[in-house]
Amino acid sequence: MRQSHMLIPTLKENPADAEIKSHQLLVRAGYIRQVASGIYSFLPIGRRVLSKVENIVREEMEKIGAHEMAMPALEPSELWKETGRWTTFGSELMRINDRHNREFALGATHEEVITSLVRNEVKSYKQLPLTVFQIQNKFRDEARPRFGLLRGREFLMKDAYSFNESYESLDETYEKMFEAYSNVFRRCGLNFRAVIADSGAMGGKDTHEFMVLSEVGEDVIAYSDTSRYAANIEMAPVVTTYEKSTEAPGTMEKVETPGQKTMKDVADFLGHEVHQGIKSILFQVDDQFVLALTRGDHEVNDVKLKNLYDADMVELASEEDTKRLLGAGFGSLGPVNVPEEVEVVADFAVEALVNVSCGANEEGIHFKNATPGKDFEVTQYADLRFIQEGDPSPDGEGTIKFARGIEVGHVFKLGEFYSERMNATFLNDQGKAKTMIMGSYGIGVSRTLAAIVEQHHDDRGITWPKNMAPYQVHLLSMNPKKEEQKELADQLYDSLLEAGIDVLYDDRKERAGVKFADSDLFGIPVRITVGKRASEGVVEVKERATGDQTELEVKEIVDYIKNWYKA
Ligand code: ATP
Ligand code: MG
């Protein structure tokens, strides 16, 4: 492609709203442009890279027997009402009305549409298992669209759905998907981990997220320093055992702690360690109030609390409810003398404590020498805290370390959640009607593109992995006003095209400095410069990522490039 007539607007400066590298570089290098918050156009070279990711995904899906289809972006509300998600999906679902005032959702995901199709068209176990996928723009009105393509409101997703006759069969499909996902992200040149994730209120069993390791990731991964164990921090069980203190319980007493708010403040003020205090937080769990206790140096994990109660919703109790129920504000709460309508649950670590401090449900007052069982009752002890670095790994091998990750893919055993609500059944080999067992599998295609840039860039621009770049070769002539340079570059361009090599040709009448800077920004893996030695038929070849360069005769170029890409 000749660059002189292509839409690749490059920028010298980072756009003001771009906080992270992939956002900055994709805009600066002319891959994308924002249309509105979280909504982007892909310019020609951006579209090319997006297609590369798409094609890898498509190939790996087809390899495991999934078939591509296309569902509409407009989804009638009736289907979403069948599963209850018209309400539970909340304000992330974009909704519109047609001229007859019928309600539609803009597709955020397609479980309802596919389940409705399959229940009508698939009747027999002989047609199962069945896996279909599509690659399509999704719409989600994210509360905080940010980081460019990483969290958009319209973004490209691959979503696949499987229908099986049994859980065993679902396990097999899931395994294949898992492998296919690993292949996709490996081929995209990504350093990633598959981590155990939370199945939440979807009613599913197993679920894994594929995380690209990156400082800018929104998720925290807890992984073992010696084994393959890795989980989303939300999910990692804590297996630490706590030895009960052998201290004799003393007499609980009230102490004044004026102005001491944090666990550290109170501990310093009372002259003990942070882990000798109890942290108390009031939650609303569906329509019940729960006071959750952890040791002062631990953090309560609301996902674990939600799972403990099998609840649909967990949130911090409002300041108003807290005052009404416990008589004090957030910094002064404690488990002693709480009213009956508040249930007290505690993390296992609390059970081992003796003579510790806790809030007294009075502003500026704490108890010291409080002991669970003696001074207050706990309805239930459970694993309620976030795992921490240094905790033993849940698989029994090694200790836990943290890393940040970008979720690029998600595989999910849905089970019967949708098929039951939507009545998707089939006749088994005994002629009996059975509910279909489902799985769903997503890849953020546009998010993956941004994740690749997060892992492949340097000070000057993007450094695409070989098979992700928009073009294989960037050809430029240093000074196209010089006839011999222009002629040689034109000739080389033709022979590269003829050899089936994707080449972007910077034939613009710009200064060499501008061309080199743009070339570095684009990140095409190999650059060929036609310059001073054009008259001798010699050009310079430079690798973008390593900076390695050599001079070659023009006639050697095609073979050199082909071999370089084969290696
Ligand atoms: P997140 O926790 O990041 O919001 P999610 O759990 O809502 O993700 P899924 O519903 O599992 O995501 O969607 C499948 C995939 O689509 C995700 O793994 C992710 O790669 C991608 N994705 C989800 N939301 C967005 C978004 N707002 N912008 C870009 N990609 C997204
Ligand atoms: Mg989301």
pLDDT score at 205: 61
Query: Does the beta carbon of 151 sit less than 6 angstroms from any atom of ligand 1?
Result: yes
Query: Does the beta carbon of 107 sit less than 6 angstroms from any atom of ligand 1?
Result: no
Q: Are residues 24 and 146 in the same domain?
A: yes
Query: Does the beta carbon of 155 sit less than 6 angstroms from any atom of ligand 1?
Result: yes
pLDDT score at 200: 54
Domain end position, chosen among 332, 355, 382 = 382
141: CA distance to ligand 2 center in Å? Answer: 10
Query: Does the beta carbon of 450 sit less than 6 angstroms from any atom of ligand 1?
Result: no
394 falls within a domain: no
- Distance between CA atoms of residues 167 and 436, nearest Å: 9
* Residue linked to tokens 């004090």: 328
* Residue from 91, 157, 449 whose mutation best tests the ligand 1 pocket (most atoms within 8 A of CB): 157
Residue type, 365: I
- Distance between CA atoms of residues 211 and 410, nearest Å: 9
444: CA distance to ligand 1 center in Å? Answer: 6
* Residue from 407, 408, 448 whose mutation best tests the ligand 1 pocket (most atoms within 8 A of CB): 407
Q: Are residues 81 and 199 in the same domain?
A: yes
247 falls within a domain: no
Q: Are residues 221 and 368 in the same domain?
A: no
pTM of the model: 0.88
How many degrees, rounded to 5, is the angle at CA 554 between CA 552 and CA 559?
A: 80
Query: Does the beta carbon of 444 sit less than 6 angstroms from any atom of ligand 1?
Result: yes
Q: Is the omega angle on the peptide bond into residue 465 within 30 degrees of 0, that is, cis?
A: no
Counting ligands in written order, the one closest to the CA of 219 is 1
User: Which residues touch 118 (CB under 8 Å, ≥6 apart)?
Assistant: 130, 163, 424, 436
156: CA distance to ligand 1 center in Å? Answer: 10
Give residue 327's domain range: 253-382
539 falls within a domain: yes
Q: Are residues 264 and 353 in the same domain?
A: yes
525 falls within a domain: yes
23 falls within a domain: yes
Query: Does the beta carbon of 157 sit less than 6 angstroms from any atom of ligand 1?
Result: yes
For ligand 1, atom 18, the nearest C-alpha belongs to: 409
Classify residue 558 as exposed, middle or buried by CB count within 10 Å of its CB (0-12, 13-18, 19+): middle
> What is the helix (H) or strand (E) element at residue 53, kind and residue range?
helix 44-63
228 falls within a domain: yes
Give φ, ψ of 392 to 5 degrees: -65, 145
The CATH number linked to 200 is: 3.30.930.10
* Dihedral sign from CA coordinates of 78, 80, 82, 86: negative
Q: Are residues 227 and 297 in the same domain?
A: no
* Dihedral sign from CA coordinates of 120, 122, 125, 131: negative
108: CA distance to ligand 2 center in Å? Answer: 10
- Distance between CA atoms of residues 179 and 175, nearest Å: 6
Domain end position, chosen among 320, 351, 382 = 382
How many degrees, rounded to 5, is the angle at CA 362 between CA 357 and CA 364?
A: 70
Q: Are residues 323 and 198 in the same domain?
A: no
395 falls within a domain: no
Q: Are residues 85 and 225 in the same domain?
A: yes
- Distance between CA atoms of residues 452 and 124, nearest Å: 42
246 falls within a domain: no
- Distance between CA atoms of residues 182 and 173, nearest Å: 14
Query: Does the beta carbon of 140 sit less than 6 angstroms from any atom of ligand 1?
Result: yes
Secondary structure class of 148 (helix, strand, coil): helix
CA distances from 316 to 87, 140, 324, 360 (A): 21, 25, 14, 19
Total domain count for the chain?
3
| Strands 154-164 and 130-139, sheet pairing | antiparallel
Please list, residue by residue across 270-295, b when 16 or more beta carbons sit within 10 angstroms of its beta carbon and e when fewer do: eebebebbbbbbbbbbeeebbbbbbb
pLDDT score at 235: 87
For ligand 1, atom 4, the nearest C-alpha belongs to: 151
- Distance between CA atoms of residues 91 and 507, nearest Å: 49
Q: Which of 193, 173, 174 is nearest to 182 (CA)?
A: 193
Per-residue pLDDT tens digits of the chain, which is 567 residues long: 999 999 999 999 999 999 999 999 999 999 999 999 999 999 999 999 999 999 999 999 999 999 999 999 999 999 999 999 999 888 999 999 999 999 999 999 999 999 999 999 999 999 999 999 999 999 999 999 999 999 999 999 999 999 999 999 999 999 999 999 999 999 999 999 999 887 654 444 689 999 999 999 999 999 999 998 999 998 899 999 999 889 999 999 999 999 898 999 999 999 999 999 999 999 999 999 999 999 999 999 999 999 999 888 899 999 999 999 999 988 899 999 999 999 999 999 999 999 999 999 999 999 999 999 999 999 999 999 999 999 999 999 999 999 999 999 999 999 999 999 999 999 999 999 999 999 999 999 999 999 999 999 999 999 999 999 999 999 999 998 999 999 999 999 999 999 999 999 999 999 999 999 999 999 999 999 999 999 999 999 999 999 999 999 999 999 999 999 998
- Distance between CA atoms of residues 274 and 266, nearest Å: 8
Question: Residue 291 pairs with which residues in a beta bridge?
Answer: 282, 344
pLDDT score at 204: 46
Instruction: Return the CA Rg of the chain.
Output: 29
Counting ligands in written order, the one closest to the CA of 152 is 1
> What is the helix (H) or strand (E) element at residue 475, kind and residue range?
strand 473-477
Q: Are residues 119 and 199 in the same domain?
A: yes
Domain end position, chosen among 349, 382, 415 = 382
- Return the C-alpha torsion angle 393, 396, 398, 399, nearest 10: 30
Q: Are residues 115 and 166 in the same domain?
A: yes
Q: Are residues 215 and 268 in the same domain?
A: no
For ligand 1, atom 23, the nearest C-alpha belongs to: 444
Q: Are residues 377 and 264 in the same domain?
A: yes
For ligand 1, atom 22, the nearest C-alpha belongs to: 444
CA distances from 266 to 249, 254, 336, 383, 558 (A): 20, 13, 17, 25, 72
Q: Are residues 226 and 281 in the same domain?
A: no
217: CA distance to ligand 1 center in Å? Answer: 13
Contact status, residue 330 vs residue 319, Cβ threshold 8 Å: yes
Q: Which atom of ligand 1 is nearest to the CA of 153?
A: 27
The CATH number linked to 515 is: 3.40.50.800
Please list, residue by residue across 72-87, b when 16 or more beta carbons sit within 10 angstroms of its beta carbon and e when fewer do: ebebbbebbebbebbe
Classify residue 10 as exposed, middle or buried by CB count within 10 Å of its CB (0-12, 13-18, 19+): middle
225: CA distance to ligand 2 center in Å? Answer: 29
CA distances from 300 to 199, 303, 366 (A): 19, 9, 20
Query: Does the beta carbon of 142 sit less than 6 angstroms from any atom of ligand 1?
Result: yes
164: CA distance to ligand 1 center in Å? Answer: 24
The CATH number linked to 321 is: 3.90.960.10
55: CA distance to ligand 1 center in Å? Answer: 19
425: CA distance to ligand 1 center in Å? Answer: 29
- Distance between CA atoms of residues 151 and 155, nearest Å: 8
Counting ligands in written order, the one closest to the CA of 407 is 1
